[in-house]
Amino acid sequence: MSNVNECEDNEHSPLLSSERSVITPNYEGIESQGTETVISDEPDEYVSHEEEHHTVPQIQQTVSHASGESGDTSRHFGPTVICRVCSAIIVIEGKTGQHVVKCNQCNEATPIRAAPPGKKYVRCPCNCLLLCKASSNRIACPRLNCKRVITLGGSAPVGTAVRAPTGTCRVLCAHCQEIFMFNTLNVTVAKCPHCQKISSVGRDYARNRAIFFIVCSLLFLIAALGLMVSFFIMFFSFSLLIFSSVVLDNDYISES
């Protein structure tokens, strides 16, 4: 049982010490903001592939010559990896227990260990490394200057990018506070895939519904007024007929 608890703690602990993302870890060392926006701008959707293989650390010697009169050289012995973004050499001495390491040149993350059970690595076209569920089909990049919607596909070649349908955006469920994708051009309510409850998205749907109910109420009001007017007309005509028949009967009786 202690091993199981230890694995769960390792899975929920951040892979980088400064990583604080609560929606989708982006391993860029800053806290993602703006993830609670109900409706975001129209993002671009990209077809991407998860990084199934992590970089295996290699034990090698790194020698860097320092410029100067002394001609001193600094030598580094220990495991190193190649950055997946800029191909720079990253010394991971003392960091082999982490899942990912951060490059000092491009400040992007490179995985050095396999993803935790039930998770997988995905790299956004903006080079942001994301960690998501293995069953996820679409994820959103949390970077403020990106916010792309990434579709995870297995047939398209790596690097293939397609634009999302017009009107696609991320919405926040009003019931369970979960984020999911929705096309605002559809004249339907949004059904949350998490709690299966229905919510309206944006102002257009509410305005259209209000116009519909106002028009229906006006039609019913006109129909009610027409029915009342016709009833009064029939009532007065029927009363006039009764009055005339009574007068004629009285005249007939008086003459006789």
Q: Which residues of 41-72 are buried (b: 16+ CB within 10 A; e: fewer)?
A: ebbbbbbbbbbeebbebeeeeeeeeeeeeeee
Q: How far is CA 58 from CA 33, 80, 139, 167, in A?
A: 36, 5, 32, 47
What pTM, to 2 d.p., does this model score? 0.40
pLDDT, tens only, 160-177: 445 566 777 777 888 888
What is the model's pLDDT at position 18?
43
Residues in the chain: 256
Of residues 172 and 202, more confidence is placed in: 172
With a pLDDT cut of 70, the percent of the chain lying above it is: 59
Give CA–CA dist 158/48, Å, rounded. Answer: 6
Residue 191 has which token pair?
């059904």
Nearest CA to 113 out of 132, 100, 123 is that of 100
Give the pLDDT score at 51: 55
At 145, give phi and psi (nearest 5°): -90, 10
* pLDDT over threshold 80, residue 154: no
The yes-or-no verdict on residue 52 having pLDDT over 50 is no
Q: What is the pLDDT of residue 147?
A: 81
Question: What's the confidence (pLDDT) of residue 196?
Answer: 85
DSSP bridge pairs for 240: none
- Predicted local confidence at residue 164, as pLDDT: 62
Q: Which residue has the tokens 């991971």?
A: 92
The 10s digit of each residue's pLDDT in 83-123 is: 888 988 888 888 888 888 889 889 898 888 888 888 888 88
Question: Could you give the residue numbers annotated as active site?
Answer: 132
The DSSP annotation for 229-241 comes to HHHHHHHHHHHHH
Domain boundaries, the chain: 77-112, 116-152, 163-200, 201-248
User: Three-state SS for 182?
Assistant: strand
